[in-house]
Amino acid sequence: MNSILITLKQTTRPHHERLEKKLDLFAPDFSQGDYLRLLIAFWGFYRPIETRLTGLPELRACMPDMLRRIKLPLLSADLRALGVGSDAQEQLPVCRDLPVCDGLAAALGCLYVLEGASLGGQVISRHFNHSLNLNAHNGTAFFTGYGAATGPMWQAFTTRLMAAGADEAALVNSACETFLSLEQWLYPP
């Protein structure tokens, strides 16, 4: 494993673990209502952050499959499946306190967090399939993500991240800021 990936994983681990603990997705009393509230909150975070990321030409050049990596359509499909129509989605609140993504290194740090969530989403989608009777067609498209292609998509991402030669400190700082921004959005102080 490349040293930047090791640094990213080690530095973001406390943020990741804290957020995972707060989310407590595997709690026995986590209901479909809790799940819907979570998807709405994720939609409010992913909409502006993905808009910002896809607007960066240097990121699109580094990640030619960037549009395939966008999760907002999956979140929107899940919300529609759970009764929140497209018009209602447009009225949902969005996060305004986003991490800075003003260059390639910062964008890659942010994307590291979002792409990493796709890995964990595989376990989460299986859990909600059993606990809430949901699948990729009726509410877990976001967590199912790339499905069988998740491993190869992660590998392609990390290969491009390592080849980008981006400033390591900016990458790591952005990844940490992304975790903090998401945590504050989901759990305001």
> What is the per-residue pLDDT across 65-81, written as a single tens digit (0 to 9) for each?
999 999 999 999 999 99
pLDDT tens, 125-155?
999 999 999 999 999 999 999 999 999 999 9
How many CB atoms are located within 10 Å of the residue 161 CB? 24
Is the alpha carbon torsion for 99, 6, 1, 24 positive or negative? negative
How does residue 189 score in pLDDT terms, banded at 50, 70 and 90? confident
Return the pLDDT at 1: 55
Number of domains comprising the chain: 1
Return the pLDDT at 63: 96
Q: Alpha-carbon distance 93 to 100, whole Å?
A: 20
Domain that holds residue 150: 3-186
pTM for the model: 0.95
Q: Alpha-carbon distance 97 to 20, whole Å?
A: 20
Share of the chain above pLDDT 90, in %: 95
Return the pLDDT at 101: 87
Q: To which residue do tokens 């959005």 refer?
A: 185
Q: What CATH number is given to the structural domain containing 55?
A: 1.20.910.10
Return the pLDDT at 2: 77
- Radius of gyration (Cα) for the chain, nearest Å? 16
Return the pLDDT at 121: 94
Q: Alpha-carbon distance 102 to 27, whole Å?
A: 37
Average pLDDT over residues 28-37: 97
Which tokens is 174 given? 């952005």
